[in-house]
């Protein structure tokens, strides 16, 4: 199936959710719709589903205008953050309900329920009631129900948001497998960058009622086209550092600068904002020459910094730094300890920098994160 949204406008009173929004999805895509809470993700999903009509604009499925077609006739399925199952029906009956509504015969219903139950690994719970299951299992039932009806478009609204962190990690991998075995198009709304990176083939960033960037997930992640993209699609948050270009140097502070030609960029003199992800900043003890995990030919900007906080995050360590009043976050991919107030040397890998104008648009990305 293909899906197009053209010139969609939608507002609730003064609250504008879609502002001349355009989005075009090709068959087989798994789209992650990334935006913070309240940005209009749910509204957009509901417009795609036909649960909500846009104030203006059109929705096309496989080239056909379905803007006015009712949700029941669109062949879509939706999974919500609050798992919705019928409490008095068994898991089997829950999954079977949309199939019965659609008028399938009993043996087809049985086969389909068993197939999807196996896919989402709940076969052994088919006779139980939803409340006898854990949160993760209940959400699998909801996903199974969406899969069972063989919808062409499956819309997921933060379906893992209420689940334990570790369970979310496991279910992401499962959902990716399920999607790869399904012919449906998946649209997955989430504020979590990791959801998108792990599962999606494509990513779209929603801000101010518009899709500000859309593309394959890797390119959107590696090359944000504006500051907002980098901000919403980054965990831990991308560092944004005010910078100036003058005399052929890109300067963040007096000590942190790099020759613009070395970056293979052409930048006019003026004010900019440099975006760099925490894992492209390394921290070493004072005066150590080379940062760890280095690769040949990296262009480092090194300077003294003070540790303001060090946190172990899973398998990584986040180090919060201060240098000449500039606050930065670095991430090293091991578990280490830095002390509060410790003097260290920070190394910014300028090959991974993005240069934005202060108003937000990308001017250029350094060589390691440029297009191609």
Size of the site for another protein (CB under 8 A): 47
Instruction: Give all strands (DSSP E) within 140-294, no chain letters.
Output: 153-157, 185-190, 202-207, 210-216, 239-246, 249-251, 257-259, 270-276, 281-285
Toward another protein, which CB reaches closer, 194 or 343? 194
- Asked if 174 is part of the footprint of another protein (rule: CB under 8 A), the reply reads no
Q: Considering only the stretches 9-17, 100-108, 117-125, 273-281, report the one whose residues sit in contact with another protein under the rule CB under 8 A.
A: 273-281
- Asked if 306 is part of the footprint of another protein (rule: CB under 8 A), the reply reads no
- Asked if 334 is part of the footprint of another protein (rule: CB under 8 A), the reply reads yes
Toward another protein, which CB reaches closer, 219 or 244? 219
**Member of 237, 242, 247, 269 binding another protein (CB under 8 A):** 237
**Member of 192, 240, 244, 288 binding another protein (CB under 8 A):** 192
- Asked if 193 is part of the footprint of another protein (rule: CB under 8 A), the reply reads yes
151, 61 contact by CB (below 8 A): no
- Asked if 169 is part of the footprint of another protein (rule: CB under 8 A), the reply reads yes
Residue with tokens 């089997």: 92
Toward another protein, which CB reaches closer, 221 or 356? 221
319, 279 contact by CB (below 8 A): no
Toward another protein, which CB reaches closer, 110 or 176? 176
- Asked if 313 is part of the footprint of another protein (rule: CB under 8 A), the reply reads yes
Q: Considering only the stretches 115-123, 142-150, 284-292, 314-322, report the one whose residues sit in contact with another protein under the rule CB under 8 A.
A: 314-322
Q: Which residues contact 182 (CB under 8 A, 6 or more apart)?
A: 147, 154
110, 123 contact by CB (below 8 A): no
DSSP track, 91-151: HHHHHHHHHHHTT--HHHHHHHHHHHHHHTT-GGGTTS-GGGS-HHHHHHHHHHHHHHTT-
- Asked if 372 is part of the footprint of another protein (rule: CB under 8 A), the reply reads no
Helix (H, G, I), strand (E, B), or coil: what is residue 168?
helix
Toward another protein, which CB reaches closer, 268 or 295? 295
Toward another protein, which CB reaches closer, 167 or 267? 167
Structure tokens at 152: 């062409």
275, 224 contact by CB (below 8 A): yes
First-to-last C-alpha distance (Å) of the chain: 28
Toward another protein, which CB reaches closer, 57 or 278? 278
State the burial class of residue 107 (Cβ atoms within 10 Å of its Cβ: 0-12, 13-18, 19+): exposed
- Asked if 320 is part of the footprint of another protein (rule: CB under 8 A), the reply reads yes
48, 5 contact by CB (below 8 A): yes
272, 250 contact by CB (below 8 A): yes
**Member of 208, 335, 343, 358 binding another protein (CB under 8 A):** 335
- Asked if 164 is part of the footprint of another protein (rule: CB under 8 A), the reply reads yes
CA distances from 196 to 254, 289, 324 (A): 38, 37, 35
Toward another protein, which CB reaches closer, 112 or 320? 320
- Look at residues 41, 16, 29, 21 and name the one whose alpha carbon lies nearest to residue 191: 41
- Asked if 311 is part of the footprint of another protein (rule: CB under 8 A), the reply reads yes
- Look at residues 223, 215, 236, 220 and name the one whose alpha carbon lies nearest to residue 369: 223
Site string for another protein, 275-304 (x = CB under 8 A): --xxx-------------x-x---------
C-alpha angle 243-244-250 in degrees, rounded to nearest 5: 90
- Asked if 236 is part of the footprint of another protein (rule: CB under 8 A), the reply reads yes
- Asked if 342 is part of the footprint of another protein (rule: CB under 8 A), the reply reads no
**Member of 27, 36, 247, 269 binding another protein (CB under 8 A):** 36
- Asked if 343 is part of the footprint of another protein (rule: CB under 8 A), the reply reads no
* Interacting residues toward another protein by CB under 8 A: 36-37, 134-135, 164-167, 169, 173, 176, 191-194, 197-198, 217-218, 221, 231-232, 234-237, 277-279, 293, 295, 309, 311-316, 318, 320, 331, 333-335, 337, 340, 368
């Amino acid at each position: 199936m293909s899906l197009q949204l053209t010139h969609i406008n939608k507002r609730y009173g003064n609250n504008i959710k879609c502002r001349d929004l355009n989005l075009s999805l090709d068959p087989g895509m798994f789209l992650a719709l990334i935006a913070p809470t309240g940005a209009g993700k749910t509204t957009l999903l509901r417009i795609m589903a036909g649960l909500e009509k846009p104030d203006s604009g059109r929705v096309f499925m496989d080239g056909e205008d379905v803007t006015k077609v009712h949700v029941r006739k669109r062949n879509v399925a939706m999974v919500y953050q609050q798992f919705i199952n019928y409490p008095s029906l068994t898991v089997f009956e829950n999954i079977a309900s949309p199939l019965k509504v659609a008028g399938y015969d009993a043996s087809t219903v049985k086969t389909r329920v068993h197939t999807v139950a196996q896919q989402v690994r709940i076969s052994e719970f088919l006779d139980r009631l939803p409340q006898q299951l854990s949160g993760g299992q209940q959400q699998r039932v909801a996903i199974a129900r969406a899969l069972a009806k063989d919808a062409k478009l499956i819309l997921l609204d933060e379906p893992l948001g209420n689940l334990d962190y570790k369970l979310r990690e496991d279910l992401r991998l499962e959902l990716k497998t399920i999607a790869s075995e399904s012919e449906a198009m998946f649209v997955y709304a989430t504020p979590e960058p990791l959801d998108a990176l792990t599962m999606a083939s494509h990513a779209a960033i929603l801000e101010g009622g518009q899709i500000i960037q859309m593309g394959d997930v890797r390119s959107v992640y590696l090359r944000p086209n504006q500051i907002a993209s980098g901000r919403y699609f980054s965990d831990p948050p991308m560092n944004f550092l005010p910078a100036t270009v003058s005399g052929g140097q890109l300067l963040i502070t007096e000590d942190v600068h790099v020759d613009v030609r070395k970056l293979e960029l052409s930048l006019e003199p003026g004010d900019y904002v440099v975006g760099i992800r925490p894992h492209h900043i390394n921290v070493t003890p004072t005066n150590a020459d080379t940062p760890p995990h280095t690769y040949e030919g990296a262009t480092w900007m090194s300077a003294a910094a003070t540790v303001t906080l060090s946190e172990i995050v899973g398998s990584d360590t986040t180090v919060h730094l201060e240098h000449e009043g500039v606050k930065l976050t670095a991430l090293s991919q091991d578990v280490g300890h830095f002390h509060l107030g410790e003097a260290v040397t920070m190394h910014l890998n300028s090959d991974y920098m993005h240069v934005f104008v202060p108003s937000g648009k990308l001017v250029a990305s350094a060589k390691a994160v440029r297009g191609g």
